[in-house]
Amino acid sequence: MEKTLKLIQSLSSTAEKVEAMDFTVAVAKDDLRKVAEKLKAEGWDYLINLTAVDNQENIEVVYHLSKSSDMEKLLVLKTKTEDMQNPIVETVCDLWESAGLYEREAYDFFGIRFLNNPDMRRLFLRPDWVGYPFRKDYDNTPNEKFSTSVHDVASMENVPSITLNHHGEIEEKNVNLFDNDEYIVNFGPQHPSTHGVLHLRISLDGENVKKIDPHFGYIHRGIEKMMESMTYPQMLFLTERLDYLCGSINRHALCMCVEKAMNIEVPKRAVYIRTIFDELNRIASHLLGWACMCNDMGSITSFIYGFRDREKIMDIFQETCGGRLMVNYYVIGGVAQDLHPNTVNRIKEFIPYLREMIKEYHTLFTGNPIARDRMTNCGFLSKEKAVALGMSGPNGRASGWHCDVRKVAPYAAYGEVNFDEVLHKGGDTIDRYMIRLEEIEQSLRIIEQLIDKLPDGDFKAKVPAIVKVPAGEYYQRVENARGDFGVYIKSTGEKSPYRIKFRSPSMVAVSGLDPICKGTKVADLIMIGGSLDYVIPCIDR
Amino acid sequence: MDFELVNLISWIDESLRDLCGDASWAVSLIEYVLIAIAFLGLYCVLALILILLERKICADFQCRIGPNRVGPWGLCQPIADMFKILLKEIITLKNNDKFLFFTAPFLILAGSLGTFGALQFGKGLVGVDFNVGIFYMLAISSLGVIGILLAGWSSDNKYTLIGAMRSGAQLISYEISAGISILTMVLLGGSLNLTDLIEGQKDSWYLFQGHIPAIIAFIIYLIAGHAETNRGPFDLPEAESELCAGYHTEYSGITFGFFYLAEYLNMFIIAGIGTMVFLGGWQPFHINYEWASGFNELMDYIPSYCWFVGKVFMLVLLSLWVRWSFPRLRIDQLLHLEWKILMPISLVNMLLMAGWVAYIAAQNN
């Protein structure tokens, strides 16, 4: 890492290392582009996250970088602009494709415009929204004059961008995304298989997909903004509302981030319980993902089968936690209560049961010639593209990208168990399909190893009554069922965070729809959407 | 004892003749009305039965219970559904062709009813019997395609249009295979008249008479016929996960009910045609050997309509089984299956059958 610092300093004399938990380097705004290009060339090809922070006298942009070949490495790159009225930062979206959406998000919430980013539309809010809500000086009193009329479609397709002309002046441009004579179909926001309130505008040529333009924000709840005025224990409850299908894992990320920042030692029993519940949650999520994908392909029976077995996991959760979907089980320092006396036995019964059922799934659906024909050689995603889009998780592993956070940067009890990271080489829909079923088996393996070794002792560490995270910046990654989920906290030492940002693996998955689906049929689009297994509430935080 | 319904019908006919005396036109008129009412009633009752059957069977496939609240074992569920659908508002759209929009469900229903009327339900239970019965059925069932295309077009919606176009491509393609495989059996039977065809299967069904060509034709007919009913894995026109509800997305209330009704009855009709052409219609199962004469007599005791309905429901069950276990095809795979696989095979199969018929004729001489 020191080498990287030297490298950055050789390009930018003002670059300096910032004292933080992760390796952080601050560079001047004008040097950012040079540094980014060099870093990309040096193998930092995976942009995990891009966050903007309003520091009141300046606006900061934080880039979390990693290497696809060595995911353990984490480099935080920071830059800032003092111009609060018209902040402009150069784009990096041509280097890391995933930056495109992140920069739109930063523009939407902070008003930072990114020079040379071809698409500077708002990402979540309506085009006629006034102000940038994540700015600290944003006036969030209810505005009665705010119109509730439906904004017209034309404004959704009008793409503004800014570039520098040859005089070095900023030039604003507006282009239309679609031609006038294109046949455009709205998929969503209400549609049976968008897996939530996703709105895709699709340009069709007969049955063939020409272009996809995703629109988010229909169920945006401003969770990150709300959390800025909440205490840490309160915040936990909202994390499960992000990716509700693997809520516990998201909650785990925030718990670990706070624990790491406050140096809280979590009792071993709690760590084991959390790992087991994470894996159960992953199984539940993969089962549902599998079921929904089968339903998208028209096999309703498989859908019900998936739900039937997921129900058993929900029952296990219910017994211990009271909740089923939102289990509200993890707290800072451990878990909320000890396991129910039945739980261990129930889990032990469940493992062989599910193994049998997975065989049934393979007979019912995987072995079906229609299903196989549809999934093979369809929806190809290369490893390079997956890395560029930041599509980690099962989708990335289906393309051969070794990106399991549980393996590359083990947390909780993952370092102590034997399990394989399921890797496929193909990158086709069938690989993404198979990988979920195979990961369920690996998760069962993990649970099997932990459930017998469950140590006695406390299930919760002593935590101060008022949780105050020391000033600083923290980032914690976990592997949730959809990939690399991250929590970024900037704290000023108060009892609520100054800025919190979640890295959503679903958002990058949706951004992959356009490159993957180009040229496929409408039916394939639905199937590929199912195979990417995105969850919209995680995007619309 | 003879439980054949034809006795009841002839008794009604005779009593009417006694009642009306010389006015034979009145007898005919009353009988026409009676027959129409009987067919319409049967059409609706069968739809109700099929809906319940499908819901119960699919629940069994999916480890669920299915409807069980309305009446014993949920028997009254379809009746409740029917009333609900009758009471629903018929939503009209703003910018569409209202005339075509409301004509389309009737066209579909007309096509389905027209075919239904030509089915032979039992000995003497024949609504329409004319010399080109099979031809008539193939022709009138195609009316449904026009209904679907109109429904999709006049709804002023992109989803319905995609659904209608898919449907047009699919139904027209699969009619070819279904038609050719039926014609293969017509070659064997030597008649287009349904009564003759069924009569020819008195000793042994065409499926067994025609040996391998007949079996191939039967399988092709089952696939193509299943595709004709627009049900999974061939449910592309409605593909609910892709197109919401395909061509009938914009219909509500009883206008949607017509599509619903026709879909279920088409399943019955396709199975009915298959039964008549391949499985001997209402003819009982006979083994064409001396030693089996006792068995054959026993089979004759079962009334003919029971045979017909039994066979049809067997085929319907098969179609339900397929529907609830297969994923949906993609449009190019669907057309590939028809134009590159089923149609060439059925054409070659027809030649095979011609050879087989010629061989039998040579043997008999």
pLDDT at B211 over 60: yes
What does the pLDDT look like over B71-124, one tens digit per residue? 888 888 888 988 888 898 888 888 888 888 888 888 888 888 888 888 888 777
pLDDT at A427 over 70: yes
pLDDT, position B136:
87
**Do A298 and B241 make contact, defined as CB atoms within 8 angstroms?**
yes
Residue of B nearest to A185 (CA): B158
**Do A185 and B159 make contact, defined as CB atoms within 8 angstroms?**
yes
Tokens at B28, concatenated: 């005919």
Distance (Å, whole) CA A270 – CA A281: 16
Q: How confident is residue B345, by pLDDT bands cut at 50, 70 and 90?
A: very high
Average pLDDT over residues A274-286: 91
For residue A63, is it within any domain?
A: yes
pLDDT, position A457:
84
For residue A152, is it within any domain?
A: no
Distance (Å, whole) CA A320 – CA A336: 10
Residues B99 and B140 sit within 8 Å (Cβ to Cβ):
no
pLDDT at A144 over 70: no
DSSP assignment of B271-301, as one string?
Answer: HHHHHHHHS-TTPPP---SGGGHHHHHHHHH
Q: Which residues of B touch A524 (CB under 8 A)?
A: 330
**Do B239 and A523 make contact, defined as CB atoms within 8 angstroms?**
yes
**A110/A229 same-domain check:** no
Q: Note the pTM of the prediction, 2 decimals.
A: 0.87
Q: Residue A192 is nearest to which of B241, B325, B327, comparing CB atoms? A: B241
For residue A205, is it within any domain?
A: no
Question: Residues of chain A with pLDDT > 90: what percent?
Answer: 4
What does the pLDDT look like over A28-56, one tens digit per residue? 888 888 888 888 888 888 888 898 988 88
**B221/B74 same-domain check:** no
Average pLDDT over residues A364-387: 88
Q: Residue A523 is nearest to which of B242, B324, B326, comparing CB atoms? A: B242
More confident residue, A520 or A18: A520
What does the pLDDT look like over A438-458, one tens digit per residue? 999 999 999 988 888 888 888
pLDDT, position B2:
66
Taken in order A363, A364, A369, A372, the sign of the CA dihedral is: negative
pLDDT, position B365:
76
* Mutation for testing the B interface, residue in A195, A296, A300 having most B CBs under 10 Å: A300
**Do B241 and A522 make contact, defined as CB atoms within 8 angstroms?**
no
Query: Hey, how many other C-beta atoms are within 10 angstroms of the C-beta on B96?
Result: 16
Question: Is A401 exposed, middle or buried, given 0-12, 13-18 or 19+ CB atoms closer than 10 A?
Answer: buried
Residues A212 and A221 sit within 8 Å (Cβ to Cβ):
no
Average pLDDT over residues A527-538: 88
pLDDT at B152 over 80: yes
**Residue that finishes a domain, picked among A88, A114, A140:** A140
φ/ψ of A71, rounded to 5, equals: -70, -15
pLDDT, position B66:
85
For residue A182, is it within any domain?
A: no
**Do B329 and A374 make contact, defined as CB atoms within 8 angstroms?**
yes
Show the beta-strand stretches assigned E in A460-515.
472-480, 483-491, 499-503
Nearest CA to CA, how far is B246 from chain A (Å)?
A: 12
Please report, for residues B105, B153, B165, B169, the alpha-carbon distance to residue B149 in angstroms, rounded to integers and kept in the order given. 11, 6, 7, 10
A191 touches B: beta carbon within 8 Å: yes
Average pLDDT over residues B147-166: 86
Portion 13-42 of A in contact with B at CB < 8 A: none
* H or E element that contains A52: strand A46-54
pLDDT at B1 over 60: no
CB pairs under 8 A between A and B: 81
**Do A523 and B236 make contact, defined as CB atoms within 8 angstroms?**
yes
pLDDT at A150 over 70: no
Show the beta-strand stretches assigned E in A290-368.
330-331, 334-335
Nearest CA to CA, how far is B233 from chain A (Å)?
A: 7
pLDDT, position B90:
85
How many domains is chain A built from? Answer: 2
Nearest CA to CA, how far is B262 from chain A (Å)?
A: 21
**Do B242 and A295 make contact, defined as CB atoms within 8 angstroms?**
no
**B266/B238 same-domain check:** yes
**CATH number of the structural domain spanning residue A134:** 3.30.460.80
**B247/B356 same-domain check:** yes
**Do A370 and B333 make contact, defined as CB atoms within 8 angstroms?**
yes
User: What is the distance between the terminal CA atoms of chain A, rounded to a whole angstrom?
Assistant: 33
**B118/B82 same-domain check:** no
DSSP assignment of B304-357, as one string?
Answer: HHHHHHHHHHHHHHHHHHHHTT-PPPPHHHHHHIIIIIIHHHHHHHHHHHHHHH
Q: Which residues of B touch A193 (CB under 8 A)?
A: 241-242
pLDDT, position A153:
66
Burial B29-49, CB ≥16 within 10 A → b, else e: eeeeeeeeeebeebbeebbbb
Mean pLDDT of chain B: 85
Distance (Å, whole) CA B92 – CA B156: 12
Residue B132: DSSP 8-state = T
Q: Residue B327 is nearest to which of A204, A298, A522, comparing CB atoms? A: A298
For residue A150, is it within any domain?
A: no
pLDDT, position B170:
87
Average pLDDT over residues A366-387: 88
Show the beta-strand stretches assigned E in A152-282.
158-164, 170-176, 183-187, 199-205, 208-215
**B147/B270 same-domain check:** yes
Tokens at B310, concatenated: 């039994």
What does the pLDDT look like over B235-287, one tens digit per residue? 877 777 777 777 888 888 888 888 888 888 888 998 988 888 888 878 888 77
In 3-state terms chain B splits into helix, strand, coil percentages (rounded to 5) of 75, 0, 25
**Do A298 and B61 make contact, defined as CB atoms within 8 angstroms?**
no
For residue A485, is it within any domain?
A: yes
Question: Is A381 exposed, middle or buried, given 0-12, 13-18 or 19+ CB atoms closer than 10 A?
Answer: buried
**B116/B46 same-domain check:** no
**Residue that finishes a domain, picked among A119, A140, A161:** A140
Q: Residue B327 is nearest to which of A186, A299, A522, comparing CB atoms? A: A299
**B117/B41 same-domain check:** no
Average pLDDT over residues A81-105: 86
Q: Which residues of A touch B329 (CB under 8 A)?
A: 370, 374
A295 touches B: beta carbon within 8 Å: yes
**B202/B308 same-domain check:** yes
**B72/B112 same-domain check:** no
pLDDT, position B249:
84
Please report, for residues B168, B169, B171, B331, the alpha-carbon distance to residue B148 in angstroms, rounded to integers and kept in the order given. 8, 11, 10, 17
Q: Which residues of A touch B223 (CB under 8 A)?
A: none
How many domains is chain B built from? Answer: 2
Q: Which residues of B touch A365 (CB under 8 A)?
A: 327
Distance (Å, whole) CA A271 – CA B33: 79
**A377/A521 same-domain check:** yes
**Residue that finishes a domain, picked among A140, A168, A197:** A140
Mean pLDDT of chain A: 86
pLDDT at A156 over 80: no
Burial B274-311, CB ≥16 within 10 A → b, else e: bbbbbbbbbbbbbeeeeeeeeeeeeeeeebbbebbbeb
Q: Residue B330 is nearest to which of A183, A301, A521, comparing CB atoms? A: A521
**B228/B318 same-domain check:** yes
* Mutation for testing the A interface, residue in B61, B170, B241, B323 having most A CBs under 10 Å: B241
Give the domain range for residue B47: 1-87
Q: Which residues of A touch B157 (CB under 8 A)?
A: none
**A448/A307 same-domain check:** yes
**B65/B212 same-domain check:** no
**Residue that finishes a domain, picked among B54, B87, B120:** B87
Q: Residue A300 is nearest to which of B159, B324, B329, comparing CB atoms? A: B324
**Residue that finishes a domain, picked among B57, B87, B117:** B87
* Mutation for testing the A interface, residue in B170, B230, B325, B330 having most A CBs under 10 Å: B330
Give the domain range for residue A350: 223-539
Average pLDDT over residues A330-345: 88
**B54/B111 same-domain check:** no
**CATH number of the structural domain spanning residue A485:** 1.10.645.10
Q: Which of A472, A520, A480, A466 is nearest to A497 (CA)?
A: A472
Identify the weakest region by mean pLDDT among A16-25, B54-63, B305-314: A16-25
**Residue that finishes a domain, picked among B87, B103, B119:** B87
Q: For tokens 């959407």, name the residue.
A: A529
Please report, for residues A38, A388, B47, B164, the alpha-carbon distance to residue A43 in angstroms, rounded to integers and kept in the order given. 9, 12, 65, 51
pLDDT at A146 over 70: no
More confident residue, B27 or B307: B307
pLDDT, position A353:
92
